[in-house]
Amino acid sequence: MSAFHTPRLVLKKVLAKSQHEGDGAVVRRAIGRSDLNNLDPFLMLDHFSVSPPAGFPDHPHRGFETVTYMLEGGLTHQDFAGHKGTIRSGDVQWMTAGRGIIHSEMPAEASNNKGLQLWINLSAKDKMIEPNYQELPSENIPTAEKDGVQVRVIAGEAMGVHSPVYTRTPTMYLVFSMMPGTEWHQTIPESWNSFVYVIEGEGVFGCPTSSPTAPHHVLVFTLGDGLSVWNNSSKPLKFVLIGGQPLDEPVAQYGPFVMNTQSEIEKTIEDYHYGRNGFEMRKYWSSQ
């Protein structure tokens, strides 16, 4: 018997291959590439690894949110509104770029600064809102454990615990650690798109007869009311399960600008070039 009325099954499996990004940084891009361009409302997922002097120097964003979850080391960010800080292993920064942010993200440690960065699209009505940050230090991320399965709830709900993060585009973001020989059944709102990215170990997803999935793979699932996972291996399994309500809106993207139409993209490029409509500080600021 399945734990769910309509269990989610694997629809697509993609290996996140390494590519260069920013200034000398290496990322494994799981979403936002030719074989998995986007998964509404998600635009990109990068598993990044960065050591000085490499990094992500001053760059703009408009029209979406970035969620950065550190796995190891730290990342120091600063933006043109005077917001500064360092997130370290287990910390989350949820940044709503809205109408415009220019910021830098640079490694905080001499080596092994690793994490995940997810881009979540904003609906047309929210694209030009004022920028905002939600920051969760590791100790403030709700955590629960049951039968050898631990979850950290960055957004949404699992095992009866809820995240305090406000998601403009309704989103769940769960970090699971499963001991060998365990299983877990996670409900997901039926109409939401969802995917898993395996960080370490290997797991069986969707149906008990599926072949195990190794690290650095992203799995996209069919629609349904929940996902079942088994760790049949002899090592711990760590993965993120991410789901979101599709926006069902057209996407026009030019690098770090994501709008609904090509003309809005052209206007965004002009706004950035001339320092208008949210990019006023562009001419006066650079990171230190």
Report yes or no: 214 and 202 within 8 Å, Cβ to Cβ. Answer: yes
Question: Quick one: which of 43, 39, 44, 13 has its CA closest to 28?
Answer: 44
Which value, to the nearest 10 degrees, does the dihedral of the CA atoms of residues 29, 219, 44, 18 take?
0
61 has binding-site annotation: yes
Q: Residue for token digits 């950065």?
A: 68
Q: What is the Cα–Cα distance from 207 to 259, expressed in whole angstroms?
A: 37
Instruction: Report phi then psi at 272, rounded to 5.
Output: -65, -45
Report yes or no: 116 and 47 within 8 Å, Cβ to Cβ. Answer: yes
202 has binding-site annotation: no
Report yes or no: 180 and 198 within 8 Å, Cβ to Cβ. Answer: no
Q: Give the SS3 label for residue 280.
A: helix
Report yes or no: 204 and 230 within 8 Å, Cβ to Cβ. Answer: yes
Helices (H), the chain: 262-274
DSSP 286: -
103 has binding-site annotation: yes
Residue type, position 143, single letter: T
Q: What is the Cα–Cα distance from 137 to 110, expressed in whole angstroms?
A: 21
Binding annotation:
59, 61, 103, 105
Binding annotation for Fe cation:
59, 61, 103, 105
